[in-house]
Structure 1
Amino acid sequence: MRPACPRISVPSSTSIIIVPGWRGSGPGHWQSLWAHRLPHARCVEQDNWVAPTRAAWVSQLEQTVLAAPQPVVIVAHSLGCIATTHMGPEAAARVCGALLVAPADPERRAVLSDFAPVPYAALPYRSILVASSNDPYCPVRLAGAYARAWGSEFVRIQNAGHINVDSGHGEWPLGWALLQSLQGEFRAAQATA
Structure 2
Amino acid sequence: MTNTRVLLLPGWLDSGPGHWQTRWEQLHGWQRVQQHDWVWPRRGDWMAQLETTLLASPQPAVLVAHSLGCHLVAAWAAHSAHTDRVRGALLVAPPDVDAPDLPPQLAPWRPARRHRLPFAARLLYSSDDPFGSVACAEALATDWGAEARCIGPRGHLNAESGLGDWPEGAAEVQRLLGLSR
Query: TM-score, normalised on structure 2?
Result: 0.92
Q: Contact (CA 8 Å) 2:67, 2:95: kept in 1 or not?
A: yes
Give the aligned partner of residue 167 of structure 1: 161
- Name the CA distance, whole Å, in 2 between partners of 1:72 and 1:61: 11
Provide structure 2 residue ranges, at least 5 long, that are not aligned to the other structure: none
Provide structure 1 residue ranges, at least 5 long, that are not aligned to the other structure: 1-10
Give SS of 2:116's match. Answer: coil
Q: Deviations over 1:138-162 (max 9, x none)?
A: 1111010000011100011110100
Q: Deviations over 1:16-65 (max 9, x none)?
A: 110000000011110011111223x2211111111111111111111111
Counting only pairs closer than 5 Å after superposition, residues 1-193 of structure 1 correspond to structure 2 as: 11-39=1-29, 41-87=30-76, 88-108=79-99, 109=102, 110-184=104-178, 186=179, 189=180
The structure that has the greater radius of gyration is 1
- Name the CA distance, whole Å, in 2 between partners of 1:31 and 1:53: 21
Runs of 4+ in 1 over 3 A off after TM superposition: none
Return the offset for 1:77: 0.2
- Identical amino acids, percent of aligned pairs: 43
Q: Contact (CA 8 Å) 1:107, 1:116: kept in 2 or not?
A: yes
Amino acid at match of 1:35: E
- Name the CA distance, whole Å, in 2 between partners of 1:182 and 1:80: 17
Amino acid at match of 1:47: H
Amino acid at match of 2:60: P
Aligned residues: 176
Query: TM-score, normalised on structure 1?
Result: 0.87
Q: Contact (CA 8 Å) 1:15, 1:69: kept in 2 or not?
A: no
Q: Contact (CA 8 Å) 2:98, 2:112: kept in 1 or not?
A: no
